[in-house]
């Protein structure tokens, strides 16, 4: 931050909030204003779309003179402490021939300060009420998540190929908690080894071994009998019929895949003609597993 901006923030008593990367919700007010301005431009711009820069001053004035629902006052009034004179106001004054009020600079500054003292408490009260309502609405579906230093997490960040597509990358290690919703993450192998991310972009990483669980084998009533799971949605009568079917055909039920020699299949081709066909394309990451499964179970 430049020295001029630091002095300006200190003079106007502005508290700056630093935001994290890839989380536009942190700058929700700015993003929402950009959406409103773009919508206004689409409706006011010409057919060729080349005069949008000439319309910006008029559209910004239209935004600044409208009272905001959060503060109860227009941005123009909060900044300059008096209501703006739009086209309709000027037309009304000319039509009614209202006398122009002449004030000295000292009188203008004094009136401006008095109005600022009266407006700002009301504006803060409106803002606090609106923020409480928005917080209650957001927290209805929000679930708190916390991470500790040393936890392994996945980070949702854009890919190198396309910035508009984000994928979970990692696992990375949490270094420390920065604020209430931000975490500093160590990401080896990247240009920036340590980066601060919002909690919405993080999720806990589980080791692959922990994703699989084998049920504890239960002792069957009959030796050599292998239990077959029956769907819970079946009625008691249907479950009994399913168990009887399994018992009658115990030799064809198994939890392990196998092969059969009951039938044979022939592929007849034209004599003397060699058939060449490319194999199905599979992802490179799956080729090892396919090769291991094919060579291990089928000679």
**pLDDT tens profile 97-121:** 655 566 777 776 777 777 777 777 7
Residue 135 structural domain? 25-139
| pLDDT tier, 224 (very low <50, low <70, confident <90, very high otherwise) | very low
**pLDDT tens profile 180-215:** 888 999 988 888 888 999 888 898 888 765 444 445
Q: Indicate whether 119 and 31 sit together in one domain.
A: yes
* H or E element, residue 296: helix 284-297
For 231, the token pair is 């769907």
| Maximum distance among all Cα pairs of the chain, rounded to whole angstroms | 108
SS3 content of the chain, % helix, strand, coil (to 5): 45, 10, 45
Q: Please, which residues bridge with residue 226 across strands? A: none
pLDDT of amino acid 299: 44
pLDDT at 129 over 50: yes
Domain assignment of residue 264, yes or no: no
**pLDDT tens profile 3-16:** 898 898 899 888 88
- The number of distinct structural domains making up the chain is 2
Q: Indicate whether 86 and 160 sit together in one domain.
A: no
Whether 250 and 225 have beta carbons less than 8 Å apart is answered as yes
Q: Indicate whether 50 and 117 sit together in one domain.
A: yes
pLDDT of amino acid 175: 92
pLDDT of amino acid 298: 47
* H or E element, residue 170: strand 166-178
- CA torsion through residues 67, 73, 76, 82, sign: positive
Q: Indicate whether 205 and 108 sit together in one domain.
A: no
DSSP line for 98-157: PPPPP--HHHHHHHHHHHHHHHHHHHHHHHHHHHHHHHHHHHTT-------TT-EEEEEE
Q: Indicate whether 195 and 93 sit together in one domain.
A: no
Domain assignment of residue 269, yes or no: no
Q: Indicate whether 115 and 184 sit together in one domain.
A: no
Domain assignment of residue 183, yes or no: yes
Quote the CA–CA distance of 157 and 21 in Å, as a whole number.
9
């Amino acid at each position: 931050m430049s020295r001029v901006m630091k002095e300006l923030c200190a003079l106007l008593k502005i508290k700056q909030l630093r935001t994290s990367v890839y989380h536009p919700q942190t700058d929700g007010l700015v993003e929402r204003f950009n959406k409103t301005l773009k919508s206004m431009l689409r409706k006011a711009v010409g057919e060729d779309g080349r005069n949008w820069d000439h319309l910006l001053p008029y559209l910004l004035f239209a935004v600044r003179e409208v009272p905001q629902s959060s503060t109860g006052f227009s941005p123009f009034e909060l900044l300059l402490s008096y209501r703006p004179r739009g086209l309709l106001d000027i037309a009304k004054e000319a039509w009614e021939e209202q006398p122009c009020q002449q004030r000295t600079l000292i009188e203008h500054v004094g009136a401006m300060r008095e109005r600022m003292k009266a407006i700002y408490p009301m504006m803060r009260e409106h803002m606090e009420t609106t923020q409480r309502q928005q917080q209650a609405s957001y927290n209805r579906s929000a679930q708190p998540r916390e991470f500790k230093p040393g936890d392994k997490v996945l980070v949702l960040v854009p890919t190198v190929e396309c910035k508009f597509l984000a994928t979970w990358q990692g696992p990375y290690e949490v270094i420390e908690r920065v604020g209430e919703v931000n975490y500093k993450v160590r990401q080896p192998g990247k240009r920036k080894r340590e980066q601060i991310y919002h909690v919405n972009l993080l999720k806990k990483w589980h080791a692959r071994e922990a994703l699989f669980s084998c049920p504890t084998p239960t002792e069957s009533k009959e030796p050599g009998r292998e239990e077959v799971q029956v769907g819970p949605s079946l009625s008691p009568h249907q479950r009994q019929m399913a168990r009887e079917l399994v018992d009658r055909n115990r030799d064809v039920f198994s939890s392990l895949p196998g092969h059969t020699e009951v039938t044979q299949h022939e592929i007849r081709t034209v004599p003397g003609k060699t058939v060449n066909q490319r194999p199905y394309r599979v992802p490179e990451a799956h080729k090892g597993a396919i090769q291991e499964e094919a060579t291990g179970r089928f000679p």
